[in-house]
Chains A and B, each alone.
Chain A
Amino acid sequence: MKALLLSLVLVPFVALAQTPTIEISGASFRPLPVAVPAPVTQNEGAKKEAATFDATFTFDLTASGILQVLDRKSFTADPKEGMAAGTINFSRWADVGAEALVKVSLAEDAGALRGELRLFNVGTGREDLKVSKDAPGNNPSLLAHRLADALYRHFTREPSPFLSRITYVRKAGANRDVVVSDWDGGNPVSLTKGGINILPSLSQDGAQVAYTSYRKGRPDIWVQRPNGEARSLVAEGQMATGAAFSPDGKRIAYALAEGESAQIYVANADGSGAKAITDTPYGLNTSPSWSPDGKRIAFVSNRGGSPQIYVMGADGSGVTRLTFQGNYNQTPDWSPRGDLIAFTARDERNAFDLFTVHVDTRKVTRLTQDQGNNEEPAFSPNGRLVIFTSTRNGGTQLFVMTSDGNNQLPLRSEKGTLLTPDWAPLAETAQP
């Protein structure tokens, strides 16, 4: 993009009297180097929560993909420097490479935690943003997500993923439980208590989770709110797996095994009006994922001999094969931006890695490589980030990266074997 758009236009100096103009285009874009000193605490109550706040806030900014959070060890500024522009020695911040400076002050008052954030342009010394947010005193990470969101919105003019929610499966012994947590893995809430519960999918607003449970002996689809009761959504007496809510939350798609084959069904969100939209007598069709406009569904089918990613209309029309590289492609997730579908593929070295395929051009791009097995991608609500599972550090952990495969970081989630993450489509989802 940069090179293509570089137009080398030299306006020749016609006369010496006229000042010549050189045109320079095609900037390279890189994360903004930002200094984020530890928050200043106004009272004891705030001091107690500062460490949790700080870890959460720093993680949000680091994982955002648009900021390069500088190492505090290099800071040379006075740690007691004030919050106001007049008291800040900006040259000290410029010396360590910072282009922006984020200062936060925390105060606790009557059980509530209040944070004030100020953003400065280090070059001009100007205060670009001043914002205050509140959260319950026992939830410093919510305050951190709110302030990080305000900062992210200031820069990108779009909601951050920091206030959204994810769901995943925690494997412990023979049990597999469905968990809902903050986007970074914080505040996990277990929905199920024992048994085998797999393939969770968050509704658009994150308020309920559909998952596959073996509690009746065979896999059925259940739906549940955090801290609520589970109710059966699809119990056909057959094997139903992998429900996915449509973006408007009005429909669900899932796979139903019938003898030798599996077909994709679409039903109303309450399970009524189910209708098969694939019909391959001896083929398997699984893992449906909706396009952001709800008009198409990506899925996995082995109708061509090996599992590959296909797309079709939400009514089953116009089936098109998208992937032609690799012979084991699965778990598609359609980006909320609409252009890409992320999927897991087993390559010729028998490693599982993540890829994206462009819906129109079918161009396949690799996101992970040579770092254990990486599976089960799920896009953030704004499509800029992807969470996935990775075995690179031993065990199976949740990771996050940008949608082009950069900045791969482990989430701050609980320890243990965590599987099949899903990200709610709405940026700001219901808090439990």
Chain B
Amino acid sequence: MLDYDWLCRRENPSIVAIVHKGSSGLHKAFFGSSEILIPVYDSIAEACKNHARADVFVSFASMRSAFVSTKEAILQDSIRTVAVTAEGMPENQTRELIRLAKLNNVWFIGPATVGGIKPGSFRIGNTAGSIESIVSAKLYRPGSVGVVTVSGGMSLEMYHIISQNSDGVSEGIAVGGDTYPGTTLLENLLRLHSYPQTKMLVMLGEIGGKAEIEVAEAITSGKITKPIVAWVSGTVASQFNSEVQFGHANARSGNDQESAQAKNTALKNAGAYIPKSFNELGKTINDVFTKFVLSDKEYKEPSQISPQLSTSFRRPTSIVSSISDDRGAEPLYNKKEISSFVSRSIGFLLNQLWFKGKLNKVGEDFLELAVKLMADHGPAVATAHNAIVTARAGKDVIDSLIAGLTTIGPRHGGALDGAAKWMLSCDQRKNLAS
């Protein structure tokens, strides 16, 4: 997702926070060739509290945990869209999420889909695959065609076909093939239809279910007025004799009205542009684009920005400082001016530096006590201390060892030498006396 952001020349990464229970802290990731730190939170509520401007929640949770986390996300005030990739979510759980999403005015994409892409802005997860395929399907900048597919696997192929036969995709959504997609083909088409940058629509449906019939009805009733090219796959199913039948989760009833042919015919009768077969879908898109979009006097070509490819070598850093910051006029410790520490206890200072202020007063007092007990170099181990400081400064093993060894002298680590010398001297004096 970050690579996509960089490719589109987004100024800031789209991901502001990660929720990963038990792994709170920071996640290091590349944005272009530089590294950024993304905060990781234990809970969705905490993440939303700290990033109230983020309004999209993308769930990569497994099938069993997706329900609870998605529900929590839907109930956050700041979240307006959730996308769920998990496959195999029980239907009743999906229905409950649909109910809650409606109630809370949240847009719900998924489950069981790669998600969607808004060229130039954002992509969900793995949508549209590798950077190479994104570049070849021109998905780094917005075009004029809104696309909604059932199949996530076919979405990239569709974007590619559209990029070759029009000015490209304005937004693409794969609703997923479950019996109850979070938002339907029609709901997504109507949303894309409402955006001025959408000049035409493309839909790829599948055999079974009534979702495509709803779209046909929306065209008939005038809810969809922009030109729409549609194709419902699965036409081969009806070409077999009684021994073989095709069908899937949405093709429950075996109803003739839900066959691919019937739905293509219904869409055609409603006024959608339907090719003779998938083989001619590209050509139909091209025809409709030329006839309705290009011919519009107010049509503007999409801006010809080029994708920003990350060519420089990515080298991960070994040490990250999320505490000290010396970029401003006054250096900061954990986002506080260094001068503000003058009047505070050592325990408070260490709490800010080592634990980012997470300790309570007891903890601070304990740190303070530890420092007092270890303050003199005598009981403390000067060699190890120096070696550690040197290592933390990023030096290698040899440098660190040398730094440690240089502390060995008459007052530290030199005791044995000293004792030996004294004993030798005693011995010599005894000899002299006798």
Q: Do A and B come from one complex?
A: no
Interface residues of B (CB under 8 A from A): none
